A and B are shown apart, each in its own frame.
Chain A
């Protein structure tokens, strides 16, 4: 049994009468690619918001690398090595691609309370930024303003920003959202290349991608984790088929 990197214990969040997260206990092992799936309204977004530090749970706790991080703000989680990409693209639109990356690299390269020396003289920040851009295939658009890129490139940059913070765990919130089949294929290859080097928590609607990438899958339904297992186990699970996969097949 390998070490657990991220764990939630009986996590609970309710909005009035609606229990959006109902005693969710989830364990992501170091080095694995763990997918989280579930139909719309299953509570994925609420759970992610609590993992990322945007929402405070009503009960239960979140542990990361042996530390209780339940009350940690988003930036403290990031500093511990917990990076995320956003479902709805969240970049710095008035910066170039390279500047976006350089700012992400800067966050893990010493103090940013420096007021005198020009950032542009810190070549090592930009070298590292270019390295990451190459690894996600964006080096050709490095000097372009982010606003001028296409949606697929935005998704790649989302991923690159998360990578630049030297994370232990990558929370990928629907990295394939809204992109075409060809770009989707490229993204799957990209994520496959990250496997083993990073621990991945992948939230995704694209079942084909999930079953190709994930070592283990957890299924969320009505705020509860109804099953966790390998792709094959999840495919074979009757409750999951009825609740979720069957619904997809009928749709």
Chain B
């Protein structure tokens, strides 16, 4: 029964996702196609953060650093190497450089735990934020506009619907990989570290290495999300790596469900739809968001995804 229900939800979600551009066209609201692309990109960012926070117990308040780094790889290359127009070249580069950044920052941050980890990840992200704010060749704090989207062979990427399907495919692939990871040996070790790191050490696990690898994967996926967002908006700015964005990603994770595979998507959807609906009524929509967040923490600690999951 639960099995059926879960598959039902999965199929329904997939059906809506696949037919979204047609539905939007039917309603005459093409705006919702790019809204859905942004939602999926946020979902990817939140899912990568969920790997850290929900699966690994590493609460980072600086995850937007990698989001911004991935975006700036796209932005800076569009200025310095306008000939590099293929997404097949630029996106992997954005992923690789974000991963490299995560190696360096992670190796330092992961020497700390708890509140100190929160503070030091925040500090690194803010440092990058200020560096890019003062990088005047690349727009400084005004940001940088991109002339056009990167290309993929055989696809008209300029079309919002096409771009949406590309983002959807990437998100689905990443979520599948995260699902495999969660159930794999590595995922179990990560869950064990979250539960009791000292015990895992004494069982012979080099916990630092496992946490660092998780941190690098999360950074790489966030960088991919950033690169996609740069293409979606045709714009990058230092704000993408501000603590505000890190905070939003964290709110999405908590809202959607800490540690659950669908938490990032559920949280991003809830957050962005709420924002979209509530800003129509009041500019103080975040008051309502705050109340909802409180309700989730108190009454549904496993988040929105937890409401759909099988009961423990």
A: residues with CB less than 8 A from B are: 52, 54, 73-76, 78-79, 83-84, 86, 90-95, 99, 102-104, 106-108, 111-120, 122, 161, 164-165
Contacts and interface: CB of A to CB of B under 8 A. Distances in A.
A76 to B, nearest CB: 8
A85 to B, nearest CB: 9
12 contacts: A75-B201, A84-B202, A86-B202, A90-B198, A90-B199, A95-B191, A103-B200, A107-B204, A115-B186, A117-B185, A119-B184, A165-B203
A93 B185 contact: no
A118 B206 CA distance: 21
A88 to B, nearest CB: 11
Contacts of A79: 204
Interface string B199-215: 11111111100100100
Given A73-B201, A78-B203, A112-B205, A119 B185 contact: yes
B106 to A, nearest CB: 16
B204 A119 contact: no
B6 interface: no
B189 interface: yes
Contact of A91 (B177, B188, B196, B207): B196
A154 to B, nearest CB: 12
Given A113-B213, A118-B183, A119-B183, A75 B198 contact: no
B181 interface: yes
Contacts, number: 98
Given A93-B195, A119-B188, A107 B180 contact: no
B189 A103 contact: yes
Contacts of A161: 199, 203
Nearest to A102: B188
Interface in B145-184: 177, 180-181, 183-184
B139 to A, nearest CB: 37
Contacts of B301: none
Contacts of A114: 184-186
Given A112-B189, A113-B213, A107 B196 contact: no
B238 to A, nearest CB: 33
Contacts of A102: 188
B202 A115 contact: no
A78 B199 CA distance: 11
Contacts of B200: 103
Contacts of B92: none
Given A75-B205, A108-B204, A113 B199 contact: no
B186 A78 contact: no
Nearest to B312: A145
A216 B105 CA distance: 50
Contacts of A73: 201, 206
B247 interface: no
Contacts of B210: 112-113
Contacts of A90: 196, 198-199, 202
A137 B204 CA distance: 24
B206 A75 contact: yes
A76 B213 CA distance: 19
A104 B203 contact: yes
B202 A74 contact: yes
A76 B204 CA distance: 6
B192 interface: yes
